Amino acid sequence: MTDISKTYYVTTPIYYVNGDPHLGHVYSTVAADVIARYKRLAGYNVYFLTGTDEHGQKVAQTADAMGVTPQEVTDRFSQAFRDVLPKFHITNNDFIRTTDNRHKETCQYFWKKLEEAGAIYLDKYSGWYAVRDEAYYGEDELQDGPDPETKIAPSGAECKWVEEESYFFRLSDYQNKLLAYYQENPDFIGPKSSASEITSFVKAGLKDLSISRTTFNWGVPVPNNPDHVMYVWIDALTNYISALGYGSEDDELFQKFWPADVHIVGKEITRFHTVYWPAFLMAANIALPKKVFANGWWVVEGEKMSKSLGNVITPDSLLQSYGVDGTRYALLREMPFGNDGNFAHDNAVNRINGDLANGLGNLAQRSLSMIAKNAEGQIPLPSSFTEADRQLLNMAYDLPSQTEPFINAVQIHKYLEMVWSVINEANAYIDLQAPWKLKKENPERMQTVLYVLAEVIRCVAIMAQPIIPVGAGKILDQLVIGHEARVFENLDNEHALKPGIVLPAPQGVFPRLELNKDEAAA
């Protein structure tokens, strides 16, 4: 049962609306969805937020290039991101747009809080700015560009010199406070490689941060100075609290769910989330998120995804090639969460065939067919359990306690590995116990073996729901498990399958994919 005092708040980055969604965006969203679903099934009251980041120069320039207004561009692409969610069975509780009024109001309230705290002052900014990254860079971080007006950021983005009046945030005041916070909260930044990178960055010294722009107006106006719009990152980061109603009349969600348990972010935006965001929050006297975890980047068949190479993998092509479960599984199983990796079609197909079709699919299909044929299509009546039976059942019952630390540490791939290790054990158990032989030799023992298998399938299907919600749901339907019973606390003896329950005719759940992409998509 959900314990309302046990809350959990997980977020994705909010996506820029200067282009269509692709595999990289699906990845962050699916990862956060797995965590959200896991925690719900573990009894938490979960809030899961995603959305779109709609202001700033990058979006304004995209609108210009397309010959439409920024609002038109944001409406169109925001909708494109929103449309992806149901296709992958994403269970977000809310979708925040930074052009929502509720968001703009919170931004202005937050700004005033920072001002009241004396953390903001007006001055003049001159320095290098990369529109692609929406980021300011120090001279020492840059390389010479093709002409004297241009420099190149470490990310490869072009930087131009800007000079304008700007509000500044006193980031330099927070160097020691941030370092102390990282030290006292060693799990605040993950993975470890990101934590050390950020710590060195902060140790090298922090300059005050320019947080407003005057040369365009596509942004949240700075309170009491309409010549300025807020720098897109202060606006964007505030989404995590504006969606909860921070600073509004109804801040019940904020009271309940803040601080966030985990922000899932891409590795390239860790600095914004682990330096700027906590410093803003400290200044406004708001609690800090408990964890920021950076996912790595996918390349595709060894190449960086890019429009010019024509190798951008769209959400629809993922669905067509691998389906909902296949995509979710392949994305999370192919590379350790936090690392970079290569998305290769053949590997994804082999993974899906090996682990879904042959692994879980075969386990369910073999076991349920034998039950249909040899146990009158009912949950069999077990007699006494052997050591092997007990061992397998206990492995299954231990899955919630064994996997939760992995979810807490955002080691999603380890959670998958652990669930599949039980599936593999169960497949090995069938081969060893050979129930088809027992049919004549020892029918009573056969019933016990089939019972153990059905019970283990119940457990692994419950555990696999966050990852492969469609197929896991179908398996649980075939075991006639009610929806409210598909929760982790039911992985025990007390909730074990009741003998005699009549099962529907078994059906295959995970089709095998063809290696040839055209055939798979056909």
Q: Applying CB under 6 A, which residues contact ligand MSP?
A: 13-16, 24-25, 27-28, 53, 236-237, 239, 265-266, 269, 295, 297-298, 305
Q: Which is nearer to ligand MSP, 239 or 427 (CB)?
A: 239
Q: Do 181 and 190 touch, CB atoms closer than 8 A?
A: no
Kindly state the smallest distance separating residue 102's Cβ from ligand MSP, in Å.
16
Kindly state the smallest distance separating residue 289's Cβ from ligand MSP, in Å.
12
Kindly state the smallest distance separating residue 433's Cβ from ligand MSP, in Å.
43
Q: Which amino acid is at 319?
A: L
- What is the secondary structure of 299-319 as a DSSP string? EETTB---TTTT-PPPHHHHH
Kindly state the smallest distance separating residue 31's Cβ from ligand MSP, in Å.
9
Kindly state the smallest distance separating residue 56's Cβ from ligand MSP, in Å.
8
Contacts of 245 (CB under 8 A, 6+ apart): 102, 106, 251, 252, 253, 254
Q: Which is nearer to ligand MSP, 26 or 371 (CB)?
A: 26
What the block records as the tokens of 462 is: 């419950």
Cis status, amide bond into 86, omega within 30 of 0: no
What is residue 214's DSSP assignment? -
Backbone angles phi, psi at 47, to 5 degrees: -120, 125
Radius of gyration of the chain (CA): 26
Dist. CA 451–CA 473, nearest whole Å: 20
Q: Sign of the C-alpha dihedral, residues 400, 406, 412, 415?
A: negative
Q: Which is nearer to ligand MSP, 182 or 233 (CB)?
A: 233
Contacts of 418 (CB under 8 A, 6+ apart): 399, 402, 403, 406
Q: Which is nearer to ligand MSP, 162 or 265 (CB)?
A: 265
- Helix residue ranges per DSSP H, 293-378: 315-334, 345-351, 362-374
Q: Which is nearer to ligand MSP, 237 or 281 (CB)?
A: 237
Q: Which amino acid is at 174?
A: Y
Kindly state the smallest distance separating residue 133's Cβ from ligand MSP, in Å.
8
Q: Which is nearer to ligand MSP, 314 or 358 (CB)?
A: 314
Kindly state the smallest distance separating residue 136's Cβ from ligand MSP, in Å.
15
Kindly state the smallest distance separating residue 342's Cβ from ligand MSP, in Å.
11
Kindly state the smallest distance separating residue 237's Cβ from ligand MSP, in Å.
5
Q: Which is nearer to ligand MSP, 305 or 503 (CB)?
A: 305
Backbone angles phi, psi at 150, to 5 degrees: -120, 140
Dist. CA 280–CA 492, nearest whole Å: 46
Cα 55 to its chain centre, rounded Å, is 23
Q: Which is nearer to ligand MSP, 236 or 460 (CB)?
A: 236
SS3 category, 170: coil
Kindly state the smallest distance separating residue 326's Cβ from ligand MSP, in Å.
18
Contacts of 353 (CB under 8 A, 6+ apart): 512, 513
SS3 category, 157: coil
- Beta bridge partner(s), residue 189: 292
Kindly state the smallest distance separating residue 284's Cβ from ligand MSP, in Å.
16
Q: Which is nearer to ligand MSP, 268 or 398 (CB)?
A: 268
Q: Which is nearer to ligand MSP, 340 or 492 (CB)?
A: 340
Dist. CA 229–CA 222, nearest whole Å: 5
163-202 burial code (b ≥16 CB/10 A, e <16): eebbbbbbbeebbeebeebbeeeeebbbbeebbebbbeeb
Q: Which is nearer to ligand MSP, 24 or 315 (CB)?
A: 24
